[in-house]
Structure 1
Amino acid sequence: MKIPSTPIITLTTDFSSDLYRGQMKGVILSINEKVQIIDIGHHTRHYDILEGAFLIWQVSSRFPPGSIHVGVIDPGVGTFRAGLAIKTDKFYFIGPDNGLFSLALKDQRIKTIIQIDPSRFEKVSSTFHGRDLFAPLAAHISLGEKIEDFGQRIEKIKLLKLKKDSIIYIDEFGNIITSIREISPLAKKVIIHYKDRKIKAKFAQAFAGVKAGEFVVLRGSSGYLEIDKNKDSAARDLGAKVGEDIEIHS
């Protein structure tokens, strides 16, 4: 797999503030000042691996082949969890072995996985592998170096299992993305079951299919069913959270 003439490194974290991602960018640029660093998002809910996995999956595939995707949503930093570098037929993924790349990898052919060897890097802290392991490794790969030079090959990594009928992501508009794919193509009305609430909603092609303030279920760009509230927040109305159970029946 060829690295683009202007290498691309993307960052997805739960850091929120500029301090930590700024340090990661500084490390990357000190190794390869010609790389292009793209911020995918840094406001994933703290420690929410599933939300981060969904974000990386949905965004990473839109980048040119050879792009390097770094993910740091890492509640297990400093424990025995491994750091990973994964080469697929299209991209590189670098981050903790906690399932963060599960969804992105299911659409690709894995070629090489290494467990990162911290001894290959200088001054590795126990609390910031994003800066001390993942960022420098991404920069070295952007220079054309092989991931095999930075650790040992492994075969198995931790994978997330999507719960059937659950919430996997909530966007900034309060739209609820579920793990549900199947529904009758003839359905025009559905019932949403969430905790002790039952809500009648239209099954439509777009938000405009209902009046402002009404619930609507549609098939989103991810291929999964979404629960939206036109010009309002469905998540706020329901008090919905990622990982919780939800059902949609026609």
Structure 2
Amino acid sequence: MSDPVVLLTDFGSGDTYAGALIGACWRVDPTLRVVTATHGVPPGDVLAGAYHLKASALAFPRGSVFCAVVDPGVGSERRVLAVDTGEVRCVAPDNGLLSYLWSEADSTMRRCAAVAVPAGASPTFHGRDVFAPAAARLAAGADLDDIGEPGAPPMLLDVAFARRDDAALLGRVAAVDHFGNAITTVRLADLGGARLTGARWDGGGTDSVVRTYAEIGDGLAVLVGSAGHVEVAARGRPGRCLGGPEAGAAVRVLLA
């Protein structure tokens, strides 16, 4: 059985764009399994896409091939990349979407290839004409070297990574999930063994630190989510209802 192709985009569900990726994969091999991680990344939000790509990759089996399309620069000079982390493979634009997937992979295992844009590809829909066919070829058995030339590593978004400032980590909200939890760029690995003591953002903050959502009281709290990122959350409602940070907001995570 072939490895699955996993779609992750900002296409939404109201148009035919998401379905066109499935069709493009099946044009390569109609026996491929094509599944969806999400088409709900906010339009053009590369940082949110980078988080959701990482979080999705944690759940899928080794060898899965992601077709990740959050590509506001479609048709420009940005590269099309195929990467292998040693766990999963991914075809994506070189715009920072691979920031977490690449940087958190074993450096001795990861590989990167630049994929050429074929003649006749629509300059406004590389997802259908470039990314999906390349991902399908990988899932059908091709190697990275078969679909592209070895190239420089992906670009990484500076904003995707927190920085240390005395007894705090400075990050921002990478994504706000369906439940209204504000997922920050501060990762468990960034803590370096320090203990979370709270968080501050423009106009608000909390000193409540919990392990599970069920432990949250009437206000906001911070916790480490399932993908290893610090979140600001409320119980039973979106955090913004209680003054929590919005997507893109700067967040100062306090440590002890």
TM-score by length of 2: 0.85
Larger deviation, residues 54-63 vs 152-161: 152-161
Equivalent in the alignment of 1:175: 181
| Structure 1 unpaired stretches of 5+ | none
Quick one: which of 38, 58, 62 aligns to 2:59? Answer: 62
Equivalent in the alignment of 1:112: 111
Report the Cα distance in structure 2 between the residues aligned to 1:240 and 1:11, rounded to whole angstroms: 29
Quick one: which of 5, 9, 16 aligns to 1:9? Answer: 5
Report the Cα distance in structure 2 between the residues aligned to 1:111 and 1:240, rounded to whole angstroms: 34
CA distances 1:14-60 after superposition (whole Å, capped 9, x unpaired): 00134001111011112212211111111111100010000010111
Residue type at the aligned position of 1:243: G
Equivalent in the alignment of 2:219: 214
Deviation at 1:239, TM superposition (A): 6.3
Equivalent in the alignment of 1:134: 131
Residues 175 and 182, structure 2, Cα contact 8 Å, conserved in 1:
yes
Report the Cα distance in structure 2 between the residues aligned to 1:186 and 1:53, rounded to whole angstroms: 24
Q: Counterparts in 2 of 1:74-223, with a 5 A limit? A: 74-109=71-106, 110-119=109-118, 123-161=120-158, 162-163=161-162, 164-180=170-186, 181=188, 182=191, 185=195, 187=197, 190=198, 192-195=199-202, 197-211=203-217, 213-223=218-228
Report the Cα distance in structure 2 between the residues aligned to 1:200 and 1:22, rounded to whole angstroms: 42
Report the Cα distance in structure 2 between the residues aligned to 1:134 and 1:98, rounded to whole angstroms: 14
Larger deviation, residues 80-89 vs 240-249: 240-249
Report the Cα distance in structure 2 between the residues aligned to 1:133 and 1:154, rounded to whole angstroms: 17
Q: 1:232 to 1:129 in 2, by over 3 A?
A: same
Larger deviation, residues 238-247 vs 91-100: 238-247
Q: How many residues align?
A: 239
| Structure 2 unpaired stretches of 5+ | 163-169
CA distances 1:106-131 after superposition (whole Å, capped 9, x unpaired): 23234432111123xx6301011000
Deviation at 1:238, TM superposition (A): 2.8
Quick one: which of 228, 234, 242 aligns to 2:239? Answer: 234
Q: 1:64 to 1:199 in 2, by over 3 A?
A: closer
CA distances 1:194-234 after superposition (whole Å, capped 9, x unpaired): 21x233442122222233x4212222222232111111111
Residues 10 and 37, structure 1, Cα contact 8 Å, conserved in 2:
yes
SS of residue in 2 equivalent to 1:225: strand
Equivalent in the alignment of 2:166: none
Equivalent in the alignment of 2:165: none
| Higher Cα Rg, which structure | 1
Q: Percent identity?
A: 28
Residues 220 and 242, structure 2, Cα contact 8 Å, conserved in 1:
no
Residue type at the aligned position of 2:34: I
SS of residue in 1 equivalent to 2:21: helix
